[in-house]
Amino acid sequence: MAIIVTVVGLAGVYLAVEVVAATGSQWAADASVHLDSDRIATTPSLLSLELLFIGVPLWLAAAAGSIVHGRSIRSLVAPLHDFRWSIVGKILTFEVSMLALLVVVPTALGIVDGAEFTGFEAAHLVWAVPLMLFILIQTSGEDVFVKGYLLRQLGAATAVFWLAPVVVVAAFVALHLGNPDFSETLWLLLPLFVASELVIVYLMLRTGGMEAPLTLHWTNNTLIFLLFAERASQANDLTLFVWDNDPATITDDVIRVGVLGVLYLGAQLAAFTWPRSPLFLEPSDWSPLDGELPHGPTSELASNDAV
């Protein structure tokens, strides 16, 4: 059912674009050409279409699969508890702090150079909220289908706890291997990407909810599309800071990014799992009255009990 809905959803988007293009719409004609190519979207309208083209069918697929299995659509974002905005606030606080510490300050001090400020125009104000919403649809669609629906079904089908998370991380990473930013430096970026996804899945299972993956994925993609991006891969007309990779130094640049990524993941684990941290994310089966943390993350999201 999920596969059928995904295919129908993608075909529906194609058909709608073609129908509008047939009426003489130049935008729809450009969109049709874009969907049939491997070029990155640079205009806000084409980027919006690309994000919706990914997110909407995945949302429909996850919703259809959940309904067939007798679960509510709400369970895709709040499987065990009410959605906890306090977790979202803690993660956003951490992300903004890390952005300042690892990107903004080093750039201002000249430690990281080469980023070009593209300027701020009225289009940035007009498109800021719509694009952040479309990015949320794209990222949440991927998360609720892969880390929500797929993880839950795999967890119900096997008694080996670690198998479902590993398969889900592998599937999620595989979906991104065609991204332009992986084309030249796959061997360097892939380990960091896998590590970050494992951390996200761990935080999701630990807290028993989807707040961590939804928030971390959305902030990451918002950062890439609207703030900092490499010109030939993820940048678009509204990206504020862009840079061009120098083939002679690209390996050194990626290694530097890898070091920053390791520091980021270490800080992330410390901030979210250290009980004395102000950003501590409580495990779903933990109470501060217990005096100590339980051993290991909760497995409720990937178990028969959750189905």
Q: How confident is the model at residue 248 (pLDDT cuts 50, 70, 90)?
A: low
Which range, of 24-33, 201-210, 230-239, averages the lowest pLDDT? Answer: 24-33
Residues 55 and 143: their CA atoms lie apart, in Å, by: 9
Q: What's the confidence (pLDDT) of residue 26?
A: 80
Residues 54 and 142: their CA atoms lie apart, in Å, by: 8
Which range, of 72-76, 155-159, 270-274, averages the lowest pLDDT? Answer: 155-159
162 CA to centre of own chain: 22
Q: Which of 54-58, 76-80, 211-215 has the highest mean pLDDT?
A: 211-215
Amino acid at 56: V
Amino acid at 160: V
The answer to whether 134 and 51 are in contact (CB under 8 A) is yes
Residues 42 and 59: their CA atoms lie apart, in Å, by: 24
Side-chain-facing half-sphere of 244: CA atoms under 13 Å: 4
**C-alpha distances out from residue 257 to 17, 118, 179, 215, 229, Å:** 38, 22, 17, 22, 13
* pTM of structure: 0.85
Mean of per-residue pLDDT scores for the chain: 82
Q: Does the pLDDT at position 255 exceed 80?
A: no
**Residue 16 contacts by C-beta under 8 Å, 6 or more apart in sequence?**
none
Name residue 171's beta-bridge partners.
none
> What's the sign of the alpha-carbon dihedral 187, 219, 85, 89?
positive
Q: Does the pLDDT at position 293 exceed 70?
A: no
Q: How confident is the model at residue 137 (pLDDT cuts 50, 70, 90)?
A: very high
**Tens of pLDDT, residues 222-235:** 998 998 888 877 88
Mean pLDDT on 17-21: 84
Q: Which helix (H) or strand (E) holds 170?
A: helix 163-175
Question: How many DSSP H helices and E strands does the chain contain?
Answer: 11, 3
